């Protein structure tokens, strides 16, 4: 299940799009302006954004440029939705960083096809490319995890499950994932094991990350699940030792 952020100020269109997305199994958040969109992305990074060109205040194009300039949102998949049909407008939207461009009115089938296409194009990059968070680098091709500590590289030893778990968390940073979601995405939805098994592997993952002093990157969010963050926060909501 993917989280899709719909940024659309026309309630009828937003409701229609959200209904189609939920029917297709996606989780949906709808907002009506750029400020609310920025707040939603700051709170939880979505898997894809459907972004209207014409928004109150800051335009969708300006917002797309802002996200592309930020390291956290640089790779965020964006599909621009607009009534503007001129070629120059399409070029401007794509130049701003949109992965695709869909003109209104559009059919629900075409919208879902575009979404599937963008998510497919993005997925292989996430699976094959090395990823780095807070100096911790994971390379799927070599199966190596390392971090430079005080000028010296520290290579970490992870079991297969901990490696997959860390890879998933690093490719979806700052998002809170429930135990059920982690079981689905890391173990697979065909595997029937208890949710508490996730806690055991998170504990093992933190122990494996400890030699590089980065166990704290994996946070427990009480009542919600786990997240990987580049900026660990010590407070009542997160307890690194709690599993």
CATH number at residue 169: 1.10.10.10
Do 32 and 105 fall into the same domain? yes
Is the confidence at residue 227, as pLDDT, over 60?
yes
- The reply to whether omega before 34 is within 30° of 0 (cis) is no
Question: What is the count of structural domains for the chain?
Answer: 2
Report the C-alpha gap between 162 and 66 in whole angstroms.
Answer: 34
Do 178 and 87 fall into the same domain? no
Token pair in block for residue 226: 């786990």
Which range of residues forms the domain containing residue 80? 3-123
Do 95 and 143 fall into the same domain? no
Burial class (CB within 10 angstroms; exposed 0-12, middle 13-18, buried 19+) of 90: middle
Using pLDDT thresholds of 50, 70 and 90, give the confidence band for residue 239: very low
Is residue 243 in a domain? no
Domain final residue pick, 69, 91, 123? 123
Mean pLDDT to the nearest integer, 17-32: 92
pLDDT in tens, 209-221: 999 999 999 999 9
Do 138 and 101 fall into the same domain? no
Is residue 240 in a domain? no
Do 30 and 136 fall into the same domain? no
Is the confidence at residue 170, as pLDDT, over 90?
yes
| CATH (domain of 42) | 3.40.50.2300
Among 216, 184, 192, which Cα is nearest to 202's?
Answer: 216
Mean pLDDT to the nearest integer, 96-109: 85
Do 112 and 39 fall into the same domain? yes
CB 225 within 8 A of CB 181: yes
Mean pLDDT to the nearest integer, 1-14: 90
Q: Where are the strands (E) in the chain, listed by range? A: 3-7, 27-31, 48-52, 78-82, 100-103, 131-133, 136-139, 144-149, 152-156, 218-221, 225-228
SS3 assignment, position 108:
helix
> What is the number of other CB atoms lying within 10 angstroms of the CB of residue 172?
18
Using pLDDT thresholds of 50, 70 and 90, give the confidence band for residue 203: very high
Domain final residue pick, 123, 153, 168? 123
Is residue 78 in a domain? yes
Is residue 233 in a domain? no
Using pLDDT thresholds of 50, 70 and 90, give the confidence band for residue 193: low
Is residue 236 in a domain? no
As a whole number, the mean pLDDT across the chain is 85
């Amino acid at each position: 299940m993917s989280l899709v952020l719909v940024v659309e100020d026309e309630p009828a269109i937003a409701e229609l799009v959200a209904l189609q997305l939920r029917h297709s199994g996606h989780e949906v958040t709808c907002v009506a302006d750029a400020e609310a969109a920025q707040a939603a992305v700051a709170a939880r990074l979505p898997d894809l954004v459907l972004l209207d060109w014409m928004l109150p205040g800051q335009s969708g194009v300006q917002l797309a440029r802002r996200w592309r300039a930020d390291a956290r949102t640089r790779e965020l998949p964006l599909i621009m939705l607009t009534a503007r049909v001129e070629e120059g407008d399409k070029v401007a939207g794509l130049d701003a960083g949109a992965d695709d461009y869909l003109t209104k009115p559009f059919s629900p089938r075409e919208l879902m096809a575009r979404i599937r296409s963008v998510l497919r194009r993005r997925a292989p990059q996430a699976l094959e490319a090395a990823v780095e968070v807070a100096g911790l680098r994971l390379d799927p091709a070599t199966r190596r995890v390392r971090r430079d500590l005080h000028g010296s590289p520290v290579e970490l030893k992870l079991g297969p499950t901990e490696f997959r778990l860390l890879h998933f968390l690093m490719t979806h940073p700052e998002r809170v994932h429930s135990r059920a979601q982690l079981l689905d995405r890391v173990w697979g939805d065909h595997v029937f094991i208890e949710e508490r098994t996730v806690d055991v592997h998170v504990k093992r993952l933190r122990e494996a990350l400890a030699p590089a002093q980065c166990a704290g990157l994996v946070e427990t969010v009480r009542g919600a699940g786990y997240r990987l963050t580049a900026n660990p926060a010590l407070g009542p909501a997160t307890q690194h030792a709690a599993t």
